[in-house]
């Protein structure tokens, strides 16, 4: 059913891009009611406006906290046009019908970001705006509600194309977006009072949904909610896909664990090559050598700006994405030669206090896996040497970022073999050894990391046979002593950390 907009209530915080709408409403003879700064803005556009105070016969009171909370405003919005009793009461109390409500909300989230002063934050909890939005949204059969400046363009299009008339579907669409705005706003306020800790309800609201080409597979829909511009400057390449985003997150989570110059290659969220070296080029060469086969089509990440020499070396292989804190001009020239290659300049770390996933028609929430070990307990034949400790710490971090069950083999701060996503820990070790052999790495003097305890001594036995001299693991098995005793008897160092790193 088409309905003509004959009257409007406009009271907004953000007036950007509102000029055309106000002028269009004026041209169409719409009666406009407004308040304070918005009224002044409307009149500056040369459009007549009725002050809400003149409608209600009440001034704005309590420092502006109460302006529109009045029956003559809400009655005009909530009245059902097909209900004779509602219309009779509008006539009885001299309440005008209001067909369009343009109201946004005080900038609560922006205030929280910019100050810790509680009173300033509390004052940005909108009352009247939310009430007006909900009222207009509830009565969408008769009223158009525009609850955000992001919807101004949609409203202007309707006003222009239909000369101020709206369909029921138009009004329903505007209402749906309006209730989304309110829901997001309420979650932000709730999280502030909860100090961003979990409450009795699972509440997450992330704006700016961006539709991906598809999800993990072409038959699945994919949407990303978030603002990538906060984290990256996208310097080159095609749009990031669903799978790209998952891999980019894994890459960023991994690389931010390292302070030394480090390069890593990610494939399907697992690290397949990583090394720390004095120069970025050396780190790249060593990371690539760890698994040249898996690196094909991978996601590359480093913690130093890309220079021309490194760029030229990287340019020799096919990869999808390169993430770095910066790119030299000459490096960019080299890397931008291929059209679809994605280059991301990372501006800040990726931080999340919690992790969650949907399971069994519900949601699992947990703390992010921060930290690498609770303790450093040398329980083997002797304490790890300084060189072994450096490699063990490196291996432990890498193993933390591999899918469980996971084993990482490291030598001279270079990943030389890994086993991940296996159904048994011994299979993960066998896979890691096979990978090391595939690229001609000798395991003499290497170290081994495990994401969880060894249920038997079979893994340390096999490691010893391969020449591995030091092991790091969380411990916690009822048979820990079997592995400890084997290490003691065969001159191996073993460190227990007390911190497991399952990654399912």
CATH number of the domain that residue 254 is part of:
3.40.140.20
Residue 287: which of 174, 429, 456, 413 has the closest Cα?
A: 413
Nearest to 328 by CA among 319, 317, 320, 336: 336
62: exposed, middle or buried (Cβ count in 10 Å: 0-12, 13-18, 19+)? exposed
Instruction: Please state, for a pLDDT cut of 90, what percent of the chain lies above it.
Output: 78
Whether residue 328 is found in the same domain as residue 428: no
pLDDT score recorded for residue 281: 97
Q: Could you tell me if 414 and 492 lie in one domain?
A: yes
Burial 273-284 (b: 16+ CB within 10 A, else e): bbbbbeebbebb
The answer, yes or no, to whether residue 277 has pLDDT greater than 80, is yes
Calpha distance 343→327 (Å, rounded): 9
Distance separating alpha carbons of residues 233 and 324, to the nearest angstrom: 10
User: Across the chain, what does the average pLDDT equal?
Assistant: 93
Is the same domain home to 189 and 248? no
Report yes or no on 407 lying in a domain: yes
Helices and strands (H and E) in the chain: how many: 18, 23
35 & 183 share domain:
yes
Q: Is the domain of 44 the same as that of 187?
A: yes
- Residue 2's pLDDT band (cuts 50, 70, 90): confident
- Classify residue 216: in a domain, yes or no: no
Catalytic residue of the set 124, 141, 234, 268: 268
Token pair belonging to 340? 């679809």
> Distance between CA 40 and CA 59 in Å, rounded?
16
Residue 336 has a pLDDT of 94
Q: In the structure encoding, which two tokens stand for residue 66, read together?
A: 């109460």
Answer yes or no: is 200 within a domain: no
Three-state DSSP at 272 gives strand
Distances (CA, A) of 237 to 234, 302, 341: 8, 18, 5
Q: For residue 139, is it within any domain?
A: yes
Rounded CA-CA distance 127/182 in Å is: 11
Q: Which two tokens stand for residue 204?
A: 């997450």
Q: Across the chain, which distance is largest between two alpha carbons, in Å? A: 97
268 is catalytic: yes
At which of 323, 346, 369 does a domain end? 346
Tokens 């003499």 sit on residue: 444
| Residue 54 scores a pLDDT above 90 | no
Give the range of the structural domain holding residue 38, as residue numbers without chain letter: 2-194
State the first-to-last Cα distance of the chain, in angstroms, to the nearest integer: 52
Return the half-sphere exposure (C-beta side, CA atoms, 13 A cut-off) of residue 354: 13
User: Which is more confident, 258 or 52?
Assistant: 258
Report DSSP state, residue 62.
G
Q: How confident is the model at residue 59 (pLDDT cuts 50, 70, 90)?
A: confident
Does residue 392 sit in the same domain as residue 316?
Answer: no
pLDDT at 69 over 90: no
Cβ 397 vs Cβ 258: under 8 Å: yes
In the residue annotation, 184 being an active-site residue is answered as no
The pLDDT assigned to 192 comes to: 92
Output the pLDDT for position 203.
Answer: 87
Number of domains in the chain: 3
Whether residue 419 sits in one domain with residue 338: no
pLDDT recorded at residue 206:
87
Burial of 219 (0-12, 13-18, 19+ CB in 10 A): exposed
Answer yes or no: do 244 and 141 share one domain.
no
CA distance 323 to 138: 46
Cα-trace Rg, the chain: 31
Residue 355 within any structural domain of the chain: no
Domain C-terminal end among 326, 346, 366? 346
d(CA 329, CA 460): 49
Residue 235 pLDDT exceeds 90: yes
79-83, 277-281, 323-327: segment of lowest average pLDDT: 79-83
Interatomic CA distance for residues 491 and 484, integer angstroms: 11
Same domain, 390 and 440: yes
Match 């009072």 to its residue by tokens: 193
* Cβ 344 vs Cβ 245: under 8 Å: no
Using the 3D structure, point to which of 143, 175, 194 is the last residue of a domain.
Answer: 194
12-36 per-position pLDDT tens digit? 988 888 999 999 999 999 999 998 8
Do residue 305 and residue 404 come from a single domain? no
pLDDT at 35: 87
Inter-residue contact 237 to 342 (CB < 8 Å): yes
Is residue 401 predicted with pLDDT exceeding 90? yes
Per-residue pLDDT of 119-150, as tens digits, reads: 999 999 988 899 999 999 999 999 999 999 99
- Residue 262 domain flag: yes
CATH number of the domain residue 75 falls in: 3.40.50.1380
Q: What is the mean pLDDT of residues 398-417?
A: 96
Give mean pLDDT, residues 217-230. 92
Helix segments in 291-424, DSSP class H: 308-314, 329-335, 386-400
Q: What pLDDT, on a 0 to 100 scale, did the predictor assign at position 72?
A: 86
The answer to whether residues 264 and 127 belong to one domain is no
DSSP per residue, 286-327: HHHHH-TTTTTTEEEEESSPBPHHHHHHHTTS-EEEEEES-B
**Residues in contact with 407: Cβ distance below 8 Å, sequence separation at least 6, in sequence order:** 399, 417, 418, 419, 420, 425, 428, 429, 431, 432, 448, 449, 450, 451, 459
Tell me the two tokens of residue 465. 């046979």
- Alpha carbon 14 to its chain centroid, in Å, reads 26
In the predicted structure, residue 60 carries a pLDDT above the cut 80: no
Mean predicted confidence (pLDDT) in 269-277: 96
- Residue 105 pLDDT > 80: yes
DSSP letters for 442-472: --TT-EEEESS--SSSHHHHHHHHTT--EEE
The answer to whether residue 501 is domain-embedded is no
The residue-averaged pLDDT of 452-471 equals: 95
8-state DSSP, 423? S
Residue 134 has a pLDDT of 95
- DSSP H helices, 194-318, are 242-255, 280-290, 308-314
Quick check: helix, strand or coil at residue 120?
helix
Per-residue pLDDT reduced to its tens digit, 308-325 = 999 999 999 999 999 999
DSSP 479: T
Q: What is the DSSP secondary structure assignment for residue 383, as one 8-state letter? A: P
Residues 6+ apart with CB under 8 A from 200: none
400: tokens are: 């933390």
**pTM for this entry:** 0.87
Name the catalytic one among 23, 138, 184, 234.
Answer: 138
Q: How far is it, in rounded angstroms, from Cα 382 to Cα 488?
A: 8
Same domain, 381 and 339: no
Structural domain includes residue 354: no
Q: Is 181 exposed, middle or buried (0-12, 13-18, 19+ CB in 10 A)?
A: buried
């Amino acid at each position: 059913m088409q309905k003509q907009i004959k009257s409007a209530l406009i009271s907004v915080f953000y007036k950007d891009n509102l000029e055309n709408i106000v002028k269009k409403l004026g041209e169409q003879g719409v009666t406009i009611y407004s308040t304070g700064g918005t009224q002044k803005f409307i009149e500056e556009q040369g459009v007549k406006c009725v002050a809400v105070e003149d409608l209600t016969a009440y001034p704005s009171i309590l420092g502006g906290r109460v302006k529109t909370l009045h029956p003559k405003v809400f009655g005009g919005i909530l009245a059902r046009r097909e209900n004779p009793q509602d219309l009779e009461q509008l006539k009885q109390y001299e309440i005008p019908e209001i067909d369009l409500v343009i109201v946004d909300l005080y900038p609560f989230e922006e205030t929280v970001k910019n100050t810790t002063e509680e009173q300033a934050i509390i004052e940005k909890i909108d009352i009247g705006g939310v009430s007006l939005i909900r009222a207009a949204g509830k009565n969408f059969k008769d009223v158009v509600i525009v609850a955000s400046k992001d919807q101004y363009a949609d409203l202007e299009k309707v006003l222009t194309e239909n000369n101020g008339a709206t369909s029921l579907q138009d009004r329903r669409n505007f209402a749906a977006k309006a209730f989304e705005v309110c829901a997001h706003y309420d979650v932000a306020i709730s999280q502030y009072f909860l100090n961003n800790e979990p409450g009795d309800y699972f509440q997450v609201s992330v704006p700016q949904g961006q539709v991906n080409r598809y999800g993990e597979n072409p038959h699945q829909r994919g949407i990303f909610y978030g603002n990538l511009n906060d984290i990256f400057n996208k310097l080159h390449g095609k749009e990031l896909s669903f799978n790209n985003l998952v891999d980019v997150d894994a890459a960023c989570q991994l690389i931010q664990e390292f302070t030394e110059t480090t390069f890593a290659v990610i494939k399907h969220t697992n690290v397949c090559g990583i090394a720390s070296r004095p120069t970025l080029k050396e780190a790249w060469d060593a990371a690539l050598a760890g698994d040249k086969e898996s690196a094909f089509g991978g996601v590359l990440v480093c913690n130093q700006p890309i220079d021309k020499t490194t760029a030229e070396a990287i340019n020799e292989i096919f990869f999808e994405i390169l993430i770095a804190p910066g790119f030299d001009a000459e490096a960019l020239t080299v890397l931008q030669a291929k059209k679809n290659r994605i280059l991301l300049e990372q501006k800040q770390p990726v931080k999340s206090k919690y992790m969650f996933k949907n399971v069994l028609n519900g949601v699992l929430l947990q703390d992010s896996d921060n930290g690498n070990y609770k303790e450093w307990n040398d329980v083997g034949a002797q304490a790890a040497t300084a060189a072994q400790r450096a490699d063990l710490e490196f291996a432990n971090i890498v193993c933390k970022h591999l899918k469980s069950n996971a084993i990482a083999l490291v030598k001279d701060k270079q990943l030389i073999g890994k086993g991940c996503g296996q159904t048994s820990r011994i299979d993960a070790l066998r896979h890691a050894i096979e990978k090391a052999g595939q690229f001609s790495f000798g395991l003499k003097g290497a170290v081994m990391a495990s994401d969880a305890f060894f249920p038997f001594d079979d893994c340390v036995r096999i490691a010893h046979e391969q020449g591995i001299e030091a092991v790091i693991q969380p411990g916690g098995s009822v048979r820990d002593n079997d592995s400890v005793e084997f290490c003691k008897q065969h001159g191996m160092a073993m460190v227990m950390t007390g911190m497991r790193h399952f990654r399912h």
